[in-house]
């Protein structure tokens, strides 16, 4: 009989701390609903004290989710905890998640507090949070670099104060699997009241060991794993939900654990997070990368034709990659479109479907078949971008070997149409220069990448840009059968994200 592992998803909190990954409330809510459908046990919706935008997002998510616990992060201050509860109070299953650092280096240089002072603050915070809800989690930031006996002392004190979950984070991704597993065992064996709480782990990927450390911790006795979709997060990211879940799913003979995750929703969730954050999934990413189920070598192909299990340890259908789908084209109707969107996890209102259907028809006139990835683009750009400051109305470019590249652009800026034209080193450069002039922005292009969403010469091109302006960094993405148009959309998307960051300044909490 397998033992239950609780999945705590922090895509909307720690994941959003990826450079440029800030999301608006509508985007966060869309992801939250998909995560509930995926089956996560706990969803960390944000850090309400960080900004009004974060507070609003946590509140909206708390109101909507019915089956998944909604957690809000708070430092060990009463004002943070008050703010967290104010955002959470409408939740069916609220959780307050409070934290403080316990390593000597953090206590000395960051907190300027003694060990006794840290324990006192931790205990006071848990007790105060308990006045709102009995579902309180405590995290010992930088736990993997903390003194073992002191860490156990802290956990014992907060459990006594009422914490139902205690979290041991490898905040800087420093631990080695065997070392981290031994630390988990030590905490379990030397914390007298540990049986009164669930032991959780939160691993970062600075050495590429986050998932391995999480699995080792579970084998050693941890029963909650804190993860993100696609492994996004601070610096090199976090333990990846899909990697952990599919490891447990694929190796039940060795790892006698299971989760409540509905694996068939893994791939659609991965795509949704990638589309909204603008953070592309590397092709060779485990489980959800574009190459994860592709086979090029002749020997591999021969084996696959004879028996797929020769080179595939899991079926693509298990994570939601279905090989049989409706073929949508210009003759398809609203019913077929709605059906396909529902299969992808998008249950749209009639008004939203009307918007997407119009865009679907436009795209179907440009390419023969519209596939799932195309539909995801339409939903993301048609529904989740409705409050953008800048919108592209038209783009016309002239380029070639014997002409000077030039772009004419018409934008809508807060509902007001403006247009202009400029020359550049190429069609994309001229388009970007024109857009920058019209929007009055002065961002620096840090990264520009192009990929094809689907196969074929009529495939939609997907462009990702990374922009910086006055210390703010934002990712932008755009997709279109015309790669120059996709580039303009990505640039405008990045500028909109920068505008959002300018208008929603945040005080980012220390990463766990």
User: Using one digit for the tens of pLDDT, what is the confidence trace for 294-326?
Assistant: 654 555 545 545 666 665 778 888 888 765 455
Mean pLDDT to the nearest integer, 14-42: 89
Mean pLDDT to the nearest integer, 362-383: 75
C-alpha 271/C-alpha 269 separation (Å) is 5
Q: What was the pLDDT predicted at 352? A: 84
- Per DSSP, 438 falls in state H
Average model confidence (pLDDT) across the chain = 89
Q: What was the pLDDT predicted at 60? A: 97
Q: What was the pLDDT predicted at 304? A: 47
Would the pLDDT of 49 be above 50? yes
C-alpha 420/C-alpha 396 separation (Å) is 11
Q: What was the pLDDT predicted at 280? A: 83
Spatial contact of 460 and 452, defined as CB atoms under 8 Å apart: yes
Would the pLDDT of 291 be above 60? yes
Helices (H) and strands (E) in the chain, counts: 16, 16
Q: Which residue has the higher pLDDT, 172 or 464?
A: 172
Q: What was the pLDDT predicted at 324? A: 45
Give the chain's domains with CATH numbers: 3-277 (3.20.20.70), 293-320 (no CATH), 334-382 (no CATH), 390-503 (3.30.160.270)
Instruction: Say whether pTM exceeds 0.95.
Output: no
Q: What was the pLDDT predicted at 315? A: 82
Mean pLDDT lowest for which of 2-6, 108-112, 289-293, 486-490? 289-293
Q: What was the pLDDT predicted at 456? A: 64
What percentage of the chain reaches a pLDDT higher than 90?
Answer: 62
Give the pLDDT band of residue 487 (cuts 50, 70, 90): very high
Which residue carries 């148009």 as its tokens?
A: 485
Close Cβ partners of 408 (under 8 Å, ≥ 6 residues apart): 394, 395, 396, 397, 419, 420, 421, 434
Would the pLDDT of 377 be above 80? no
Mean pLDDT to the nearest integer, 480-506: 86
Close Cβ partners of 103 (under 8 Å, ≥ 6 residues apart): 141, 142, 143, 145, 146, 147
Q: How far is CA 338 from CA 24, 147, 202, 414, 462, in A?
A: 25, 56, 38, 30, 24
Q: Which residue has the higher pLDDT, 301 or 22?
A: 22
Would the pLDDT of 204 be above 90? yes
Gyration radius from the chain CA atoms: 24
C-alpha 233/C-alpha 20 separation (Å) is 11
Give the pLDDT band of residue 2 (cuts 50, 70, 90): confident
Would the pLDDT of 87 be above 80? yes
Give the pLDDT band of residue 441 (cuts 50, 70, 90): very high
pLDDT tens string 211-268:
999 999 999 999 999 999 999 999 999 999 999 999 999 999 999 999 999 999 999 9
Close Cβ partners of 310 (under 8 Å, ≥ 6 residues apart): 300, 303, 304
Mean pLDDT to the nearest integer, 146-158: 98
pLDDT tens string 240-255:
999 999 999 999 999 9
Mean pLDDT to the nearest integer, 21-43: 92
Q: What was the pLDDT predicted at 363? A: 83
Mean pLDDT lowest for which of 60-64, 361-365, 396-400? 361-365
Which residue carries 């691993």 as its tokens?
A: 203
Q: What was the pLDDT predicted at 244? A: 98
Mean pLDDT to the nearest integer, 279-305: 70
Q: What was the pLDDT predicted at 220? A: 98
Would the pLDDT of 454 be above 70? no
Question: Using H for helix, E for strand and C for coil, what is the string for 74-135?
Answer: EECCHHHHHHHHHHHCCCCCEEEEEEEECCHHHHHHHHCCCHHHHHHHHHHHHHHHHCCCCC
């Amino acid at each position: 009989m397998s033992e239950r592992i609780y999945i705590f998803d922090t895509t909307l909190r720690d994941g959003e701390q990826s450079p440029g990954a800030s999301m608006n409330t509508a985007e966060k809510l869309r992801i939250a609903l998909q995560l509930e459908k995926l089956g996560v046990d706990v969803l960390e919706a944000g850090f309400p004290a960080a900004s009004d935008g974060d507070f609003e997002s946590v509140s909206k998510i708390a109101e909507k989710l019915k089956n998944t616990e909604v957690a809000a992060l708070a430092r060990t201050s009463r004002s943070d905890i008050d703010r967290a509860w104010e955002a959470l109070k409408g939740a069916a299953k609220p959780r307050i998640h409070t934290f403080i650092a316990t390593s000597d280096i953090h206590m000395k240089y960051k907190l300027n507090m003694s060990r006794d002072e840290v324990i006192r603050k931790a205990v006071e915070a848990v007790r105060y949070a308990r006045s709102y809800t009995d579902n309180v989690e405590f995290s010992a930031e930088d736990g993997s670099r903390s003194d073992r006996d002191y860490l156990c002392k802290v956990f014992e004190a907060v459990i006594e104060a009422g914490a139902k979950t205690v979290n041991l984070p490898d905040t800087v991704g420093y631990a080695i699997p065997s070392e981290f597993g031994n630390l988990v065992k030590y905490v379990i064996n030397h914390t007298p009241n540990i049986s009164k709480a669930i032991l959780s782990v939160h691993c970062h990927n600075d050495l590429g060991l986050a998932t391995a450390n999480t699995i080792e911790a579970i084998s050693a006795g941890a029963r909650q794993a804190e993860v993100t979709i696609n492994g996004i997060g601070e610096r090199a990211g976090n333990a990846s939900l899909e990697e952990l879940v599919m490891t447990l799913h694929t190796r039940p003979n060795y790892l006698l654990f299971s989760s409540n995750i509905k694996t068939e929703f893994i791939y659609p969730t991965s795509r949704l997070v990638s589309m909204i954050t603008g953070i592309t999934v590397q092709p060779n990413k485990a489980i959800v990368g574009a190459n994860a189920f592709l086979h090029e070598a002749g020997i591999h192909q021969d084996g696959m034709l004879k028996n797929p299990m020769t080179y595939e340890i899991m079926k693509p259908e298990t994570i939601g990659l279905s090989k049989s789908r409706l073929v949508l084209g210009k003759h398809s109707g609203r019913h077929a479109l709605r059906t396909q969107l529902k299969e992808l996890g998008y249950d749209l209102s009639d008004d939203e479907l009307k918007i997407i259907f119009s865009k679907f028809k436009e795209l179907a006139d440009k390419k023969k078949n519209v596939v799932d990835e195309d539909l995801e683009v339409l939903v993301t750009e048609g529904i989740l971008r409705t409050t953008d400051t800048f919108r592209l109305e038209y783009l016309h470019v002239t380029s070639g070997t014997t002409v000077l590249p030039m772009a004419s652009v018409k934008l809508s800026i807060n509902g007001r149409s403006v247009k202009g034209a400029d020359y550049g080193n190429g069609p994309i450069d001229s388009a970007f220069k024109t857009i920058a002039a019209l929007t009055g922005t002065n961002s620096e292009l840090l990264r520009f990448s192009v990929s094809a969403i689907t196969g074929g010469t009529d495939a939609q091109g997907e462009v990702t840009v990374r922009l910086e302006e006055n210390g703010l960094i934002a990712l932008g993405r755009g997709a279109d059968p015309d790669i120059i148009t996709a580039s303009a959309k990505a640039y405008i998307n990045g500028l909109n994200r920068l505008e959002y960051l300018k208008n929603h300044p945040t005080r980012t909490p220390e990463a766990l």
